[in-house]
Amino acid sequence: MDKNKSNLETLRHSTSHIMAQAVTELFPGTKLAIGPAIEEGFYYDFDTPQPFKPEDLEKIENRMKEIVKDNHKFVRSEMTKKDAVEFFKKKNEPYKIELLNDIPDEKVSLYQHSTFIDLCRGPHLESTKEIKHFKLLSIAGAYWRGSEKNKMLQRIYGTVFPTREELEQYLKKLDEAKKRDHRVLGKSLDLFSVHEEIGAGLIHWHPKGATVRQLLEDFWKKEHTKNGYQIVCTPHIASEEIYKISGHLEKYSDMIYSPMDIDGKPFRVKPMNCPGHILIFKTKLHSYKELPVRFAEMGAVYRHELSGVLHGLLRVRGFTIDDAHIFCTKEQVEDEIISVFNFTINFLKKFGFSEFEIFLATRPEKYVGEIEKWDLATASLKKALEKTGYKYEIDEGGGAFYGPKIDLKVKDVLGRSWQCSTIQFDFNLPERFNITYRNSEGKDERVLMIHRAVFGSLERFFGVLIEHYGGAFPFWLAPVQIKILPITDEQIEYANIVKKELGDLRVEIDTRNEKLNYKIREAQMEKIPYLLILGKKEQSSNEVAVRLYGENTTTTKDIKKFLEDIKEIT
């Protein structure tokens, strides 16, 4: 691990202990759960007699400052697991006892500063005085160990940095992120909604959001067809038997919805598209001359995500995977992976992303297949990645249960990373479904298979786009590209003439009996790229007064000149 990253994790984890001390002192009867460092800060989960209130954060923060100022040393000690269980029983800390019962080691470590002592692997700082620039951010609910079957705990999030400048910069980024929150913009821009009456995590695309969705799908289909993919479509439900064969029911059962009875047989709503694509491939014998075969689908799938992790468009229960499955020979695997990787990078660049984080995810704890095959598959992905010239990191244990994978994260304008695309090697399903092709010697040989998604899921990608652009989509993606504002009713007829001149562009005319400034202000809030203001002067000269989103001035242009300018950005 990078030394600076390691030092920052130590700083954040130490701060979480200070927060825990402050909470237990200020709120007697609080029981402690866990308090790890996370990517941009830390949190601690508490079982409290009463829920925290927003104003409690300031009290906790002030007490933390006092603890820091007192300069307590962090002291490590060891106990046998048995003694530690007795110790935490006396302190009435049931969550610590549950954690201890899961630790296989005979001895465990504890860390103490001041009067506070916690079960902890460490490491920690030398003393509390090293912690200077921190901020508590928010309160949230969190199920113990992420399971809805367990008690809901109170989680406090915070962050800490080595310098005040870094903390202030991060807090500014948080403020900007709040303005870009896709859930807020999704409502204000009338893009999508979620309705508890129908179910959490199920997205309803409004007309404007559905327009963007259609544009995404059209672009996706065009690019895939151009690059040798064949578009397929598979059903939303399937016999449970197919997921027994694939291994998903065994390895993925928590995420698959309960069966429904159809003609006395159990069926499941589709959690993934791969079995259907395999069965399409198997409907005929394929020669080596036909390979690779590339099937692609915008396939709706459903997964039982826990309610505590659902988050707008970014974590849902019903979503659309832009799946593709490539069936190829072992000689073609490396070239196909490189081709898919380059296709993915170029595809994402079209949406304004230029920075990427790339990970090679290796064998997880739960896996199928032989280790030798895993090693060979991982080596193939690694070799292909090295040929692309892009830097990458190893994500130990992050692979799918059926094979290793390449994950691509995009960085948005705020520098935040978002998981989107994945390229996965699969030697498991070809064996389970006995997928073969006829080789040059006329013999049946095992097909190799690559899973791949570029958007990842259409819903998640849309959420990322909303936040990346702050709702102000580029012209080609904007649900309404141009809004025409006639100043009086006398210009409505001319407005319709202008709209006709604009052809297939997505145009609205605001004919409401409202003041012009009100209409302009509302259109700016809708983040429409172009406003065309029409008064008597524009009507008489066959012109339009053009106002760009975010600008306060207008430029008068001939309609044909305006169209020429538009063509340059489309």
pLDDT tens for 487-508 read: 999 999 999 999 999 999 999 9
Q: pLDDT tens digit string along 454-499?
A: 999 999 999 999 999 999 999 999 999 999 999 999 999 999 999 9
Residue 239 CA, chain-centre distance (Å), reads: 30
Q: Rounded to two decimals, what is the model's pTM?
A: 0.85
The pLDDT mean for the chain works out to: 92
Q: What is the architecture, at CATH level 2, of domain 3-170?
A: 2-Layer Sandwich (3.30)
Question: Do 366 and 316 contact (CB within 8 A), yes or no?
Answer: no
Per-residue pLDDT tens digits for 192-207: 999 999 999 999 999 9
Any idea which fold 482-569 has?
Answer: Rossmann fold (3.40.50)
Per-residue 3-state assignment (H helix, E strand, C coil) for 320-386: EEEEEEEEECCCCHHHHHHHHHHHHHHHHHCCCCCCEEEEEECCCCCCCCCHHHHHHHHHHHHHHHH
Dihedral over Cα of 161, 164, 165, 169: its sign: positive
Q: Where in the chain is the domain with CATH 3.30.930.10?
A: 187-469
- The stretch 384-400 carries a mean pLDDT of 90
Q: Where in the chain is the domain with CATH 3.40.50.800?
A: 482-569
Asked whether residue 4 carries a pLDDT value surpassing 60, the answer given is no
Q: What is the pLDDT of residue 1?
A: 42
Q: Among 365-369, 385-389, 446-450, which is the least confidently predicted range? A: 365-369
Nearest of 461, 472, 224, 476 to residue 346 by alpha carbon: 224
- Where are the domain boundaries for CATH 3.30.980.10 in the chain? 3-170
At residue 570, the pLDDT reads 65
Give the CA count within 13 Å in the CB-facing half-sphere of 235.
Answer: 8
End-to-end CA distance of the chain: 45
Q: Cβ(444)–Cβ(469) under 8 Å? A: no
Please state which CATH number belongs to domain 187-469.
3.30.930.10
